[in-house]
Amino acid sequence: MSRMRFGIFMAPFHPAGINPTILIDGDLELIEHLDRLGFEEAWIGEHHSAGSEIIASPEIFIAAAAQRTRHIKLGSGVISASYHNPLWVAERAVQLDHMTKGRFMLGLGPGALPSDAAMIGLDMPQTRELLEDAVDIITKLMSSDEPVNFDNGRWTLKDARLHLRPYTDPYPEIVIAAVASPSGPRLAGRYGHGLLSIGATTAAGFDVLGLHWDVMEERAAHYGVAVDRNAWRLVGLVHLAETREQAYNDVEHGMLDWFDYFQHTAAFPQMAVGDGTTVRECIDFVNDSGLGTIGTPDDAVAQIERLEKQSNGGFGAYLQLAHDWAAPAAKFRSYELFARNVAPHFQGQYQSTTDAKTRARAARPVLAESNLRAVEASTAKYQAELAEKTA
């Protein structure tokens, strides 16, 4: 595997009732912070109900974030493809590809919240069927100038073509979301697209990580395309501080709101978070179940190593699921600690400096003695020359 990348998966998750203008501004500021710290990817979600995940258009958010950042790549994490005519999804993706000079990534999924789909007359089985249609159409539009004709009763395309060809050659990276079922890997593998394992650290998702990649490779071989582990992203939960005690204190700010959202509001049973009702019960569930890491940078290193082993061959990027467990200052500090102390372990920067330190420590007695003799010899020579001049 090549150098691991790090980033964020921003649904986002904010407590209901807070000023959304301030929250969206804060989300943009967080992306700027990550760009300065050297994080390489930010994935932005699409949601329309339930009061917590307040970004309705990842494309609009990404356009704003692109103007504030220099390096970080920006992806839709994910566009609910079943909600939109795929021609317009592809058109907006190509426009962002141009506006970001190739920093845009297109993430696609069926839509996570049943309360979103219900408002436009869809049930969840329909969203998965529509996703398959959308991925096929978008891939054809991106990869060819040939017209696309299609009708499934919900979308009609007649001699559809992209208005602009992509900025990226041949087209922006396309990534398919997966939680626990093999439907995401099957779809991604069919076209050689990337895989975004949103449920990688849930009990169900963790158990099938290796299987998911096996499905990817089987489907890719069947359709004669290639898949790349470097295009596989795993999502997990993290909050770090200098000590575990400080990390535990930090998450008292908002952990119960986050747990309550998944326990009682979001109809998303794949994201099972236990039945904890106190902050400490929630902390223990996150750490003991492997859902995430609340603690120190060393704890985060161990979590990522655990995921590497379970993936049975490695993956390309680890994305932190954004949350408001801690107040903004502590949240920003957690990302800084991760960039300083966790990322180097997986990017070839930790071992080189620690090895250099080890070699220098081992050689220090001999080198220090040699240096001391050099100083003594130089001093003796100077004193001899001085004595000769004064004689």
DSSP 218-244: HHHHHHT----GGGEEEEEEEEE-SSH
Over the chain, what is the mean pLDDT? 95
Give pLDDT, residue 271. 76
Q: Given a cut of 70, is residue 126 above it in pLDDT?
A: yes
Q: What percent of the chain has pLDDT over 70?
A: 99
Report which residue type is found at 184.
G
In the predicted structure, residue 268 carries a pLDDT above the cut 80 = no
Q: Reduced to 3 states, what is the DSSP secondary structure of residue 76?
A: strand
User: Residue 181: is it exposed, middle or buried by C-beta count within 10 angstroms (0-12/13-18/19+)?
Assistant: middle
3-state SS assignment for residue 383: helix
pTM score, whole prediction: 0.94
343 CB-side CA count, 13 A: 19
How high is the pLDDT of residue 1?
Answer: 58
pLDDT band at 90 (very low <50, low <70, confident <90, very high): very high
Whether the per-residue pLDDT at 286 is higher than 80: the answer is yes
pLDDT in the model for residue 223: 98
Taking only the tens place, the pLDDT of each residue in 163-186 is 999 999 999 999 999 988 899 999
- Band (pLDDT 50/70/90 cuts) for residue 41 is very high
Q: What integer is the mean pLDDT of 229-234?
A: 98
In the chain, the largest separation of any two C-alpha atoms, in whole Å, equals: 110
Burial class (CB in 10 A: 0-12, 13-18, 19+), 185: buried
Give the mean model confidence (pLDDT) for residues 49-62. Answer: 97
Residue 126: count of CB within 10 angstroms of its CB: 15
Helix (H) or strand (E) segment spanning residue 294: strand 292-295
Q: Residue 274 pLDDT > 90, yes or no? A: no
Note the CATH number of domain 5-348: 3.20.20.30
Q: In angstroms, rounded to a whole number, what is the distance separating the alpha carbons of residues 156 and 120?
A: 17
